[in-house]
Chain A
Amino acid sequence: MSKALQKRALPSKEQSLFKELLTLYETRQLKKGLKTAEQILKKVPDHGETLCMKGLILTNMAGRKDEGVELVKKGVRLDLTSHIVWHVFGLVQKADKNYEEALKSYTQALRFDKDNMNLLRDSAQLQTHLRLYESLVDTRHAILKLRPNQRQNWVALALAHHLNGNPQEARMVLEHYQRSLKNVPDYDIEHSETLIYYVNILEEIGELSEALSVLDSSAKSRSIVDRTSILQIRARILTKQSVPEADEAWRSLIEHNPDCYESFRGYFTYLGISLDESNPEAVTKLEEFVVQLPRASAPPRLQLNVASGDQFKKLVEKYIVKRLEKGIPSLFADLKALYVDKEKQQTIEGIVEALREEYAAASTLPASSDANLEPTTYLWTLYYLAQHYSYLSQPDKALSVLDISLQHTPTLPELHMCKARVLKRAGDYLGAARCQNDARLLDGQDRFLNTKFGKYLLRAGMVDEANSIFGLFTKKDAPSPAADLEDMQSLLFLLNEADAYRRNGKLNLALKKYIAVKKVFDDFEDDQFDFHGYNLRKFTINIYIKLLKWEDQLRSHPGYVKAAIEASKIFVAVSDDASIVSSLTSTSKMSDAEKKALKKAKKAAQKVQEDKKATQATNENKDPELIVPKDEDPDGLKLIGSPDALEQASKLLHPLTTLAPKNIDVWIAIYDVAIRRKKLLQAVGALSRAAALNPDHPELHLRLVDVKQRASSFPQAPPPPIGPVFTEAIAKFIPDDLSLETFNSQYLQKHSTDSHTVLAAAKALHKLNLPLADVENTAFTLFSPDVRLDVPTALSTVDFLASLKSSRLDEFRAQCQTTFPLSTVFKPSAELAPLREQVMLGSAPEPATEDTTP
Chain B
Amino acid sequence: MNIRVAKVEDLMGMQACNLQNLPENYMMKFWMYHSMTWPQISFVAEDHKGRIVGYVLAKIEDPSEEGTTEEIHGHVNSISVLRSYRRLGLAKKLMLLSQEAMSSIYKASYVSLHVRKSNKAAIALYKDTLGFEVAKVEKKYYGDGEDALSMRLSLKNP
Contact partner of A523 (CB less than 8 A), chosen from B28, B83, B118, is: B28
Given A447-B22, A618-B24, A475-B143 contact (CB < 8 Å): yes
Q: Is A204 an interface residue (CB 8 A)?
A: no
Which residues of A from 297 to 342 have beta carbons under 8 Å from B?
A: 297-298, 327-330, 333-334, 337
Bound form: Cα–Cα A540–B142 in Å:
32
Q: Is A451 an interface residue when CB atoms closer than 8 A count as contact?
A: yes
Instruction: Please name all residues of chain B whose beta carbon is closer than 8 Å to the beta carbon of A245 when the two chains form the complex.
Output: none
Q: Is the CB of A540 within 8 A of B23?
A: no
**Assembled-state Cα–Cα distance A524/B12 (Å):** 10
Please name all residues of chain A whose beta carbon is closer than 8 Å to the beta carbon of B47 when the two chains form the complex: 333-334
From A85-93, A120-128, A256-264, the one touching the partner chain is A256-264
Instruction: Check A189–B106 contact: CB distance below 8 A.
Output: yes
- Say how far B65's CB is from chain A's closest CB, in angstroms: 12
**Docked complex Cα distance between A648 and B20 (Å):** 32
Kindly state the separation between the CA atoms of A228 and B83 in the bound complex, as whole angstroms.
29
What residues of B have a CB within 8 angstroms of the CB of A524 in the complex? Answer: 12, 28
**Residue A449 CB within 8 A of the other chain:** yes
Contact stretch, chosen from A133-141, A485-493, A725-733, A799-807: A485-493
A540–B39 Cα distance when bound, in Å, is: 8
Give Cα A473 to B24, complex, Å.
9
B107: interface (CB < 8 Å): yes
Confirm or deny: A617 has a beta carbon within 8 angstroms of a beta carbon on chain B.
yes
Tell me whether A225 is interfacial, beta carbon within 8 Å: yes
Contact A329 B8 (CB under 8 A): no
When the two chains form their complex, are residues B32 and A531 in contact, meaning their CB atoms are under 8 A apart? yes
Interface-central residue, B25, B26, B107, by most chain A CB under 10 Å: B25
Indicate if the CB atoms of B143 and A619 lie closer than 8 Å.
yes
Q: A298-B2, A550-B8 are in contact. Are A531 and B36 (CB under 8 A)?
A: yes
CA distance A134 to B83 in the complex (A): 48
- Provide the bound-state CA to CA distance between A557 and B12, in Å: 10
- A488-B26 contact given A187-B107, A226-B105, A448-B82, CB 8 Å threshold: yes
Contact B142 A259 (CB under 8 A): no
Contact (Cβ within 8 A) A615 B23: yes
* Binding-face segment, A17-25, A154-162, A541-549, A843-851: A541-549
Known contacts A189-B106, A228-B5, A297-B1, A535 near B24 by CB under 8 Å: no
B7/A257 in contact, CB under 8 A: no
Of A333, A448, A616, the residue contacting B143 (CB under 8 A) is A616
A228 touches B101 (CB 8 A): yes
Tell me the complex Cα distance, A463–B22, Å. Answer: 22
Given contacts A329-B87, A447-B21, contact A487 B27 (CB under 8 A): yes
Q: Mark B110-153, 1 if CB is under 8 A from A, else 0.
A: 00000000100000000000000000000001111110000000
Our pick among A225, A414, A528, A614 for the contact of B144 (Cβ within 8 Å) is: A614
Chain A residues with CB below 8 A from B32, complex form: 527-528, 531, 547
Q: Measured between alpha carbons, how far is A538 from B88 in the docked complex, in Å? A: 36
From A329, A542, A615, B84 is in contact (CB under 8 Å) with A329
Closest to B6 in A: A543
Which residue of B25, B35, B86, B88 is within 8 Å of A488 (Cβ)?
Answer: B25
Q: Does B39 lie within 8 Å of A543, measured CB to CB?
A: yes
In the bound complex, do residue A616 and residue B144 qualify as a contact, i.e. CB atoms below 8 Å apart?
yes
Question: Would you call A534 an interface residue if the criterion is a C-beta within 8 Å of the partner chain's C-beta atoms?
Answer: yes
Q: Is B37 in the interface zone, CB < 8 Å from A?
A: yes
A343 at the interface (CB under 8 A from B): no
Q: Are A337 and B22 in contact (CB under 8 A)?
A: no
Determine if B20 and A448 form an interchain contact, defined as CB atoms under 8 angstroms apart. Answer: yes
B48-A337 in contact (CB<8A):
yes
Is A476's beta carbon under 8 Å from chain B? yes
Q: Which residues from chain A contact B87 at a C-beta distance below 8 Å?
A: 327-329
Residue of B nearest to A323 (CB): B88
Complex Cα distance, B39 from A527, in Å, reads 17
Least CB distance, B144 to chain A, in whole angstroms: 3
Chain A window 70-85, contacts with chain B (Cβ cutoff 8 Å), 1 for yes, 0 for no: 0000000000000000
Determine whether the beta carbon of A621 is less than 8 Å from that of B26: yes
**CB-CB < 8 A to A491: which residues of B?**
12, 16
Is A97 at the interface (CB under 8 A from chain B)? no
Known: A257-B97, A616-B142. A447 touches B23 (CB 8 A): yes
Is the C-beta of B156 less than 8 angstroms from some C-beta in chain A? Answer: no
> Are B49 and A337 in touch, CB under 8 angstroms?
yes
Measured between beta carbons, the chain A residues less than 8 angstroms from B84 are: 329-330, 333, 414
Tell me, rounded to whole Å, the shortest Cβ–Cβ distance linking A149 to chain B: 22
In the bound assembly, the distance between CA atoms of A772 and B68 in angstroms comes to 82
Residues in B with CB closer than 8 Å to A523 are 27-28
* Given known A-B contacts A189-B105, A445-B118, A447-B22, A535 and B36 have beta carbons under 8 A apart: yes
Return the chain B residue nearest A298 by Cβ.
Answer: B2
Instruction: Report the bound CA distance from A330 to B82 in whole Å.
Output: 10
A488 with B3: CB separation less than 8 A: no
Given the interface contacts A333-B84, A547-B32, A616-B142, does A259 sit within 8 Å of B101 by beta carbon?
Answer: no
Give A330 Cβ to nearest chain B Cβ, in Å: 5
Q: Is the CB of B40 within 8 A of A226?
A: yes
Given contacts A259-B3, A491-B16, whether A547 and B36 have CB atoms under 8 Å apart is yes
Q: Is the CB of A616 within 8 A of B23?
A: yes
Give Cα distance in the complex from A64 to B141, angstroms.
37
Residues A575-625 near B (CB distance < 8 A): 614-621
B8 touches A543 (CB 8 A): yes
**Contacts A451-B20, A617-B144 given; 9 further ones with Cβ under 8 A?**
A228-B101, A259-B1, A262-B2, A334-B48, A492-B19, A535-B36, A557-B12, A615-B144, A618-B142
A-B CB proximity, top 6 nearest: A616-B144, A543-B39, A618-B143, A259-B3, A448-B83, A337-B48
Return 26 A-B CB contacts under 8 Å, by A number.
A226-B105, A228-B101, A229-B40, A257-B3, A298-B2, A328-B87, A330-B88, A414-B84, A448-B20, A449-B83, A476-B143, A488-B25, A492-B19, A523-B27, A527-B28, A527-B29, A527-B32, A530-B29, A538-B37, A546-B8, A547-B8, A616-B143, A616-B145, A620-B24, A621-B27, A621-B30
